[in-house]
């Protein structure tokens, strides 16, 4: 295939990968519509009704670029969190922010510490900037804070990624352990504390805002994609010191935010009552998934997120077969972790009861057909 001859050597070395195959692509590949979309940790509960109203209102202004300073959203978040707007950077989802952070810190060859089996999109961005991944194994299905710290020190790494609660396992550390970890890091190591799932975690999981907001080497990333039900709006935010937050302004696409998406995020933040309702539904759905797993002889792992990792008790091929059969035979879209030993599990997102019913009906059938094979 004929391509331009002079892309940079780094670009030429990169594969044209997709960190995740999207559900629409799976539908096209399999020639089958998805009946239960419970694989991407989206929220099938959707956003608040008030958000849909805000979207409709904002629609007539979509001929205007969004405010490149994101003033209103920053100030709404600042008031909500009790910090200054200067502590906040806004981006096109956490994925977008992760790409920017890697670019801010990583030169080709620089070591980047993460967990082996952690968020693939972060790894994608590290590869895209020529960074060298140093991956520490999970211990007991949790990210290993001591292992991450040891790797940082051994490698003199400028960047470490830690998700709390964790994806893909749903596990978590309490706030005090997270703060301890952050404080133990050298000031020349930037911690990305990815809190995409902080809303769904037990109280005492996310450190208080104050405990980390003055540390120039900590960036906390959060999103409207999960509990707030706005994955398609692409609005994430980063919390940091003003000096660290300002670095995003050096490289971000200032006019990159979608105007309707920002309006939706502001409305979602304002509707904390709806968020509370959804959190109950997510919690109930986690229990439902756990019950379905147990009823089928599988072991649900504890979860602080909007999904449940389910230990299928055998190898990756078995878990993969369950994922594949659920989709091929029943149109149920779920995912699974990418590496051993995590990939003995499947990962099921919480969702409306109707989709859980489909799962409950399909899983015994899939397991039976695999046992017979």
Q: Which residue among 250, 371, 372, 373 contacts its own copies (CB under 8 A)?
A: 250
Distance CA 310, CA 40 (A): 15
Q: How far is the CB of 279 from its own copies (least distance, A)?
A: 15
Query: Which is closer to its own copies, CB of 59 or CB of 340?
Result: 59
Q: Within positions 128 to 187, which residues make up the interface with its own copies, using CB under 8 A?
A: 128, 158, 187
Query: Which is closer to its own copies, CB of 214 or CB of 273?
Result: 214
Q: How far is the CB of 172 from its own copies (least distance, A)?
A: 23
Distance CA 242, CA 152 (A): 25
Q: Which residue among 171, 233, 343, 350 contacts its own copies (CB under 8 A)?
A: 233
On whether the CB atoms of residues 211 and 73 are closer than 8 A, the answer is: no
Burial (CB count within 10 angstroms: exposed 0-12, middle 13-18, buried 19+), residue 305: buried
Query: Which is closer to its own copies, CB of 28 or CB of 276?
Result: 28
Q: How far is the CB of 11 from its own copies (least distance, A)?
A: 5
Q: Within positions 15 to 44, which residues make up the interface with its own copies, using CB under 8 A?
A: 15-25, 28, 37, 40, 42-44
Tell whether residue 302 is a contact of its own copies (CB under 8 A).
no
Phi-psi region of 234 (alpha: psi -120 to 50; beta: other; left: phi over 0): left
Q: Which of 259, 258, 196 is nearest to 225 (CA)?
A: 196
Give the pairing type, strands 36-37 and 332-333.
parallel
Query: Which is closer to its own copies, CB of 116 or CB of 224?
Result: 224
Q: How far is the CB of 152 from its own copies (least distance, A)?
A: 12
Q: Within positions 99 to 118, which residues make up the interface with its own copies, using CB under 8 A?
A: 99, 103-107
Tell whether residue 284 is a contact of its own copies (CB under 8 A).
no
Report helix, strand or coil for 208.
coil
Q: Which residue among 83, 231, 298, 321 contacts its own copies (CB under 8 A)?
A: 231
On whether the CB atoms of residues 330 and 262 are closer than 8 A, the answer is: no
Q: Which of 314, 311, 327 is nearest to 366 (CA)?
A: 327
């Amino acid at each position: 295939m004929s391509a331009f001859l002079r892309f940079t050597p780094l670009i030429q070395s990169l594969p044209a990968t997709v960190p995740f195959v999207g559900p629409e692509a799976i539908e096209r590949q399999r020639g089958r519509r998805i009946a239960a979309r419970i694989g991407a940790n989206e929220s099938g509960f959707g956003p608040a009704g008030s958000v849909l109203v805000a979207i409709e209102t904002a629609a007539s202004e979509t001929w205007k670029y969004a405010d490149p300073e994101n003033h209103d959203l920053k100030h709404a978040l600042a008031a909500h969190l009790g910090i200054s707007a200067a502590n906040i950077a806004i981006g096109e989802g956490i994925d977008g922010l992760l790409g920017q952070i890697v670019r801010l810190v990583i030169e080709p060859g620089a070591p980047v510490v993460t967990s082996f089996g952690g968020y693939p999109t972060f790894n994608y961005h590290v590869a895209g900037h020529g960074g060298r991944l140093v991956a520490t194994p999970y211990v007991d299905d949790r990210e290993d804070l001591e292992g991450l710290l040891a790797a940082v020190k051994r490698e003199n790494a400028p960047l470490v990624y830690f998700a709390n609660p964790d994806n893909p396992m749903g596990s978590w550390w309490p706030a005090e352990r997270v703060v301890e970890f952050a404080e133990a890091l050298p000031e020349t190591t930037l911690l990305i504390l990815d809190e995409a799932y902080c809303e769904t975690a037990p109280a005492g999981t996310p450190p208080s805002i104050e405990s980390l907001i003055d540390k120039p080497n900590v960036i906390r990333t959060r999103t409207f994609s999960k509990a707030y039900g706005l994955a398609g709006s692409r609005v994430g935010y980063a919390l940091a010191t003003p000096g660290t937050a300002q670095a995003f302004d050096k490289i971000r696409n200032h006019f990159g935010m979608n105007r309707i998406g920002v309006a939706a995020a502001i409305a979602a933040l304002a509707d904390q009552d709806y968020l509370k309702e959804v959190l109950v539904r997510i919690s109930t759905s986690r229990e439902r998934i756990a019950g379905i797993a147990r009823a089928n002889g599988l072991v649900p792992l504890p979860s602080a997120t909007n999904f449940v990792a389910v230990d299928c008790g055998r190898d990756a091929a078995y878990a993969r077969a369950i994922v594949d059969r659920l989709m091929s035979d029943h149109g149920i879209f779920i995912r699974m972790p990418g590496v051993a030993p995590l990939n003995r599990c499947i990962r099921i997102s919480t969702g409306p009861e109707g989709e859980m019913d489909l799962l409950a009906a399909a899983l015994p059938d899939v397991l039976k057909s695999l046992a017979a094979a």
